[in-house]
Amino acid sequence: MKLLAFIPIRLTLLLIIGILIGSVLPVDTWYLLLSTLLFFLFLTLIFVFQKRSHSVLFGVIACVTVINLGMFCFSAAQPINHQDHYSNIINEERAIWTLKIKESLKPNLYSTRYFALVTKIDQQPASGTILLTLPQDSSILNVDDEIQVFSKPYPISPSLNPHQFDYKNYLKTLGVYDQLGIKDNQFIRITNPKKTLTGIASRIRSHIISQLQKEHFGTDELGVIQALLLGQRDNISEETYSNYQKAGAVHILAVSGLHIGILLLLIQFILRPLRNLPHGRTVILILSVVLLWIFAFIAGLSASIVRATTMFSFVAYALYLNRPSNTFNILALSILFILLFIDPNLIFQVGFQMSYAAVFSILWIFPMLRDVWFPKNRAIRYFWQLLCVSIAAQLGVLPISLFYFHQFPGLFFISNLIIVPALGLILGTGIIVILLSLLNVLPLQLAWFYNTVIAQMNGLIGWIAQQEQFIFSAIPFDSIQLILSFLILILGIELYQSTNFKRTVFFLISIISFQGYTLYETNLAHNKNEVLVLHQTKNSIILNRNGQRLSVLSNQKNNLNYLLSNYTIAERIKTINEDSLKNSYSINDTAVVVIDSSGVYQKTPSPIILLTNSPKINIERLALTLQPIEIIADGSNYKSYVDRWKTTCIQYKIPFHYTGEKGAYYLK
């Protein structure tokens, strides 16, 4: 089946291309709007005067129009481009902010965090979303709460070390650019705040969770139940979550496309008798969509749930039409609808990418795998088809999974073969448990049974996760490999469907390109040498990289794994050695003097100086005595010391680099 033969799929791909171009080449929104309208006018004139839409000119202008539309959608969707965005209004350091809590985020060890809508700045109407942080022991804020604070925004810190997760860029894709940090006594609650649909849904979910907490569920089991049914993963233990990751079943712990898809099949199975009624299939379609959105409402109407429910609302319509070609068309139209009318930034979200990759793969690859073998035994045939679905979905999401998570669970099919068939029963029973719990009539036996089922599932996942020899982790995989791997997958499927010389050549070229690029990157890694000072709070770290060998120089070896893991994977490091920091080094014929809290240092002329652990030294005397090339301060120093050193260096015209502001320092 040639997917590009479907016009909605072509339009969707062109729109995505436009969004991607718009994300790297920002253009004025009004210019994009006018140019899109102009191109659309050209299309209309060509169609009116030529009376045909298959000419080359019509096709070219149509492609440009849709790409331009994608750029416009991306630009228009960025809150910072709106005139009433708070960044275009605030002109003082401090102001009175009126905020409405939009979403409660998972707290960390030090603070609770929220996304808050900005409604006013000093009584002037404003818009935008800001990250709000409060100390861990502060009063709890709920969705829809409105508060006033007197504060000033400050930018979200970017990633300071190479290959570190860029939280600032991630929040930017959500339309969040700044943050406010306040204490418990620095805000005023506004009485009788306006209620929103999202806020009502959040309160209903919180009420359900409080009711479930009164039942006889274990701690781990309750955490998994909340994740499975309500999309609330805050109470899952780190060990349990890690086990699901290693077993290739972490998608079960988030209400996403898998849950909504299974729920849709379950609803359609229950409503199947209605087919015998007049217009029964239409009634089934309407009830299916309504029930899906009721579940989404109960689960809190989070962005991922809304996205998945929108997608499967279109899938329900595709099932109603019962034609395979229409299924691809409607699925593509659902992407168009979501990106055009909900949020084009979703294209950059991992959940969005994996959900659609899995569904497209199942629709496209599953029929081919299923037809390879047709067992006569119904039970064997059922598990064979389930295995084919699992493999098809895994093939679709594998490149994305390797790109973001750099691991592949070899026993994914075991967890999927056992858990996915039971997931319909687990979800169905869970919904019944919620309803009975809300009515305070949940039987103790049913609660015990459901708790046992969840415990057994956790136990199975834990056993699979212990088979570490089947977990392939720390796999280097960059964006070029992502594109080439999808090209191999697509060309391989096309070749399987219809074998000919041309397709065989293209398939082999794609494999050779992937292998050639991987060998090229490996060779680069083998010959690359660099020394850099990393940033870590209350610690000093120097990395000396020689090819695929890495020496980690630090006096504190705790909490280094999370800091080094992404670097070692991306840079294809094979061996790691650890050593303590010394007082001086020679790097490329340049002396590097390390001054720690003792304040003792070697009097080497014209060195690069690294200040660590807040040494009490006279920076002016140091500058006059050694005449350093540059002074570096890492994350182990007090900020007040760093500010004083920076001022002195500016006075004496000495280059100064603070890793907490400029990120890791590369010693050349």
Model confidence at 662: pLDDT above 60: yes
Find the mean pLDDT for residues 413-434.
81
**Tens of pLDDT, residues 133-143:** 998 877 888 89
**C-alpha–C-alpha distance, residues 580 and 610, integer Å:** 15
Is there a contact between 626 and 610 (Cβ–Cβ < 8 Å)? no
pLDDT at 126: 93
- Say what percent of the chain tops pLDDT 90: 35
pLDDT at 333: 85
* Structure tokens given for 254: 């988030």
**Tens of pLDDT, residues 93-134:** 788 999 999 988 888 778 899 999 999 998 899 999 999 999
**Cα torsion for 442, 447, 448, 452, to the nearest 10°?**
160
Model confidence at 1: pLDDT above 60: no
Model confidence at 202: pLDDT above 70: yes
Model confidence at 52: pLDDT above 70: no
**Tens of pLDDT, residues 448-487:** 999 999 999 889 888 888 887 777 888 999 999 999 999 9
CB atoms within 10 A of CB 509: 13
**C-alpha–C-alpha distance, residues 588 and 607, integer Å:** 12
The region of weakest confidence among 43-52, 455-464, 614-623 is 43-52
**Tens of pLDDT, residues 325-351:** 577 888 888 888 888 888 899 899 888
Q: Model confidence at 257, in pLDDT bands (50, 70, 90)?
A: confident
C-alpha dist (Å) from residue 405 to 251, 408, 473, 481, 570: 13, 8, 9, 14, 11
pTM for the model = 0.86
Find the mean pLDDT for residues 570-586.
90
**Tens of pLDDT, residues 354-380:** 888 888 888 888 889 888 888 888 888
| Four-residue CA torsion sign, 450, 455, 456, 460 | positive
pLDDT at 425: 83
- Of the candidates 233, 237, 287, 292, the one whose C-alpha atom is nearest the C-alpha of residue 259 is 292
520 φψ region: left (φ > 0), alpha (ψ -120 to 50), beta (else):
alpha
For all residues of the chain together, what is the average pLDDT? 87
Q: How many CA atoms lie within 13 A of 415 on its CB side?
A: 27
**C-alpha–C-alpha distance, residues 476 and 44, integer Å:** 49
Buried residues in 55-87 as b, exposed as e (16+ CB within 10 A): eeebeebbbbbbbbbbbbbbbebbbeebeebbb
**CATH code of the domain made up of 86-194:** 2.40.50
